[in-house]
Amino acid sequence: MKQCSGCKKEKPLDEFSKDKSKKDGLRTQCKECSKQNQKQYRKINKEKLNEYHRQYRSNGGRHADKPYVYFAYHNGNYYIGSTKYRWTERFSKHKHSAATGLGHYINEHNLSKEDFEVKRFSFETIEEARDAEKSYLCECVGQKGCLNKNK
Ligand SMILES: [Zn+2]
C-alpha cells in the first residue's frame, strides 16, 4: 500500500502508474488523481496551448533552460505561472511566500514539490512566456480547481 499525495488515500501499488524518476518507481499521485489532473489539463489546454507549442517547436527551439509557463497539478487543482528558473527554485519561492495562491495551498496541505505534476511549455523569452501565461489566466482564474487568484 502507498499513500497518494493527491487524495491522501492509502491505495494498492497497482493504483499508481510507473515513474522511473521516482525513488519507489511509482508516481506520487494515484491513477484516479492523475486522471483528474489530465481532465483539468485538457479543459484548459485546448487549441491555444497547442498553437504556442507548435510555433515554439517550428522555431527549432530546445526545451532546456528556456523560460517556460508551468501548470502545477495536485488533486484536480492547478496553478499557472511563468518563470525562467527551475521548478525546484520556483517551488521553494512559492513555499516561502504565502502571498501567492500556490504558496498558501502548499502550506495548507503541507506539500513537497514531488507532490505536484508539472507540465511545462517553453518559450524563447520570458516576455513570450508571460504573454502566454496571461492568456491562460484569463481563461482559468475563478474556474473550478484554479489556484491563481488574480490575472
Ligand atoms: Zn489519489
Does residue 65 have a pLDDT over 90? no
Q: Ligand 1 centre from 120 Cα, in Å? A: 22
Does residue 64 have a pLDDT over 70? no
Distant-in-sequence, close-in-space partners of 149: CB < 8 Å, separation ≥ 6: 100, 101, 141
% pLDDT > 90, the chain: 50
If pLDDT is split at 50, 70 and 90, which confidence band does 89 have? confident
Q: Ligand 1 centre from 70 Cα, in Å? A: 21
Selecting from 3.30.200, 3.40.720, 3.40.50, 3.40.1440, what CATH number does the domain 30-140 have? 3.40.1440
Q: Ligand 1 centre from 15 Cα, in Å? A: 9
Q: What pLDDT, on a 0 to 100 scale, did the predictor assign at position 146?
A: 94
Q: Ligand 1 centre from 41 Cα, in Å? A: 16
Q: Which burial class, exposed, middle or buried, applies to 118 when counting CB atoms under 10 A from its CB (0-12, 13-18, 19+)?
A: middle
Q: Ligand 1 centre from 29 Cα, in Å? A: 5
Asked if 34 and 17 touch (Cβ cutoff 8 Å), the reply is yes
Q: What number of other Cβ atoms are within 10 A of residue 61's Cβ?
A: 13
Q: Ligand 1 centre from 117 Cα, in Å? A: 12
Q: What pLDDT, on a 0 to 100 scale, did the predictor assign at position 73?
A: 94
Domain spans, the chain: 30-140
Q: What is the pTM of this model?
A: 0.62
Work out the mean pLDDT of the chain and round it to a whole number.
85
